[in-house]
Amino acid sequence: MALQNVSVRFGRRGPWVLSGVNGVLPRGTVTAVTGRNGAGKTTLLRVLAGVLPASRGSVVGRPAVVGWVPERFPAEQAWTVRQYLTTAGRVRGLVVGAAAISAWAERLFLTPFLDTRLSELSKGTAQKVGLVQALLVRPGLLVLDEPWEGLDAATRSELPLLVQEVISAGGVCVVSDHRGELAGLRPDAEWRIAEGRLTSVAASAEARVIEVVVDAGEVAAVVAALRADGHVVRSVRSAEAVSR
Ligand X SMILES: Nc1ncnc2c1ncn2[C@@H]1O[C@H](COP(=O)(O)OP(=O)(O)OP(=O)(O)O)[C@@H](O)[C@H]1O
> Where on the chain is the footprint of ligand X (CB under 6 A)?
10, 17, 35, 37-43, 178
Shortest distance in whole angstroms from residue 231 CB to ligand X = 34
Rg of the chain over all Cα atoms, to the nearest angstrom: 20
Shortest distance in whole angstroms from residue 46 CB to ligand X = 8
CB neighbour list of residue 18: distance below 8 Å, 6 or more residues apart: 6, 7, 8, 40, 43, 44, 47, 54, 193, 196, 198
Helix (H) or strand (E) holding 131: helix 123-135
- Which of 3, 34, 56 lies closest to 194 in space, CA to CA? 34
The residue among 35 and 97 lying less far from ligand X, judged by its C-beta, is 35
- The Cα–Cα gap between 123 and 146 comes to 13
CB neighbour list of residue 117: distance below 8 Å, 6 or more residues apart: 78, 79, 80
Shortest distance in whole angstroms from residue 90 CB to ligand X = 29
The residue among 17 and 105 lying less far from ligand X, judged by its C-beta, is 17
Shortest distance in whole angstroms from residue 74 CB to ligand X = 14
